[in-house]
Amino acid sequence: MLLAGKTAIISGAAGARGIGFATAKTFAQNGARVAILDIDGKSAVSAAAELGAGHVGVACDVTDKADCARAVADVLKAFGQIDILINNAGITQPVKVWDISSEDWDRIQDVNLRGVLFLSQAVMPHMRSRKSGAIACMSSVSAQRGGGILGGAHYSAAKAGVLGLAKAMARELGPDGIRVNCVTPGLIQTDINAGKISDEKRKEIIDGIPLGRLGVPQDVANIYLFLASDLSAYTTGAVIDVNGGMLIH
């Protein structure tokens, strides 16, 4: 098993049909002890219980630095170590650039970008002390192509910020043996976009994807597994596209 003896935190992973929970299941199946962090603490506990014994669910608001520190402390109390952090929590909003309010901007930036910084900062002292760790961050094809599917310009900006933040973290944390990488999914079929795409628009999107289908959460979970495991031991500062060829550079 690729993650035997490892412990992992996955944020935003309580949703049964989301990328985070698919990743949690994949990690557990590969031997990891998993801490599911979610703003909905009860759902986090329930999701962790579905994984079986030895996993935990912890309430955490990633936009609150103190709450991130508290949640990480709870995980350390339960597991004694943290080897992997998956910054998966995120929200989106389909709104045109001229309609973005200051409240919209702050909410999208706070969860998608500020949350990555705060939760990463919370695990850094532990990982740096052990000279080991793997951090993977959720960005989006929206950051690379300028939106155009569901997320607004503020979402694209936040996810582009994640790319820059992760690369900077990779550069600064590399000497401590900590790897930091990004995943940029295309359109993945989750509850976030369920019912929000017409059949006509769906066909149009699929026609532009060389592999001829939309993504599913497991497609992204598999890449997170690679980035969390020793298979990627010499990979840091990388951006891995998971979009079926929707965006070929």
Residues with catalytic roles: 155
Q: Please give the structure tokens belonging to residue 25.
A: 């299941």
Distance CA 183, CA 74 (A): 27
Neighbouring CB atoms inside 10 A of 84's CB total 26
Residue 139 tokens, joined: 């960005």
DSSP 183: E
Which of 93, 72, 67 is closest to 192 using CA atoms?
Answer: 93
Tokens found for residue 223: 């890449």
Burial of 170 (0-12, 13-18, 19+ CB in 10 A): buried
**Three-state secondary-structure class, residue 201:** helix
